[in-house]
Amino acid sequence: MKKTYKIEVDCANCANKMEEATNKTAGVKAAVVNFMTQKMSVEFEEGADVNAVMQDVIKNCKVVEDDCEIYL
């Protein structure tokens, strides 16, 4: 399953950090963060609980960029 989320991030470097953190999150198969469009595309692993995985993604992204927002 693949979903796209609206995000709010201040710089391209921060977007890269968010992408790396998301890709390291359990349950995420692949993720791409686009700074220009302020969107994050996440492909989830088979059978993953999307809501639980996204809560972990938010936690992991807040570690690398504490003022980022991901709108579920």
Q: What CATH number does the domain containing 47 carry? A: 3.30.70.100
* Domain residue limits at 38: 2-71
Quote the CA–CA distance of 12 and 17 in Å, as a whole number: 9
Angle at 39 between CA 2 and CA 35, to 5 degrees: 135
Number of domains the chain is built from: 1
pLDDT at 69: 96
pLDDT at 5: 98
- Mean pLDDT of successive 10-residue segments in the chain (72 residues)? 96 96 98 98 97 98 94 96
Burial string for 23-39 (b: 16+ CB within 10 Å, else e) reads bebebbeebebebeeee
Residue 47 has phi, psi (to 5 degrees) of: 80, 5
pTM of the model: 0.95
